[in-house]
């Protein structure tokens, strides 16, 4: 494989599809023989379709570092904080090991906004990234500092959503 330039990509915004975009990128990378490591912050449910699919995909590791319940902004539990810190430490280890071409930190932007992680720690994590590694940060509320560090930012805008018509979460769509 030719030498590649690792990038820092951010998927943010109030619309649905940020994790989905990152998973599409993972699928594309796997198709090119790349190794992918995904850490999901603030998520801890085996119901997510990507957890099920990860079992079938070669070179794809997915680890959840969250509880199966929602985090209350401004009032994270000690367990929420512990899991987020574990996720950040795991990300640091994976980045420094240099064994994966694509590393996805799903919902890390929200974890920062909700006070589970320090913004400075995530910025330092970006600086640790080796040249050939692409790092993806997903989630609403990406800070200006995180956006400034990124090579690419995509904002997913909520234009219309089926929730507004009372249609509940669908397996394979929302989770």
Which DSSP category does 130 fall into?
-
DSSP string, 87-102: HHHHHHHHHHHT--SE
Q: Looking at residues 113-132, what average pLDDT do you find?
A: 97
**Does residue 2 register a pLDDT over 70?**
no
Q: Is residue 2 exposed (0-12), middle (13-18) or buried (19+ Cβ within 10 Å)?
A: exposed
Q: Which pTM does this prediction carry?
A: 0.95
* Alpha carbon 84 to chain centroid, angstroms: 12
- What is the Cα Rg of the chain in Å? 16
Mind listing the pLDDT tens digit for each residue in 62-96?
Answer: 999 999 999 999 999 999 999 999 999 999 999 99
């Amino acid at each position: 494989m030719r030498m590649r330039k690792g990038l820092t990509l951010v998927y943010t915004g109030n619309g649905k599809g940020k994790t989905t975009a990152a998973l599409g990128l993972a699928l594309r990378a796997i198709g090119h023989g790349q190794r992918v490591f995904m850490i999901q912050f603030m998520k801890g449910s085996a119901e997510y379709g990507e957890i099920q699919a990860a079992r079938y995909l070669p070179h794809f590791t997915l680890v959840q570092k969250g509880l199966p319940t929602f985090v209350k902004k401004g009032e994270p539990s000690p367990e929420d904080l512990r899991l987020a810190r574990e996720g950040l430490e795991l990300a640091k280890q994976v980045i420094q090991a240099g064994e994966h071409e694509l590393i996805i930190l799903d919902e890390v932007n929200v974890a920062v906004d909700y006070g589970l992680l320090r913004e400075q720690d995530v910025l330092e994590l970006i600086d640790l990234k080796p040249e050939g590694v692409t790092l993806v940060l997903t989630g609403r509320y990406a800070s200006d500092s995180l956006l400034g560090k990124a090579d690419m930012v995509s904002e997913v805008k909520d234009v219309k959503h089926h929730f507004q018509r009372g249609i509940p979460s669908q397996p394979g769509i929302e989770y």
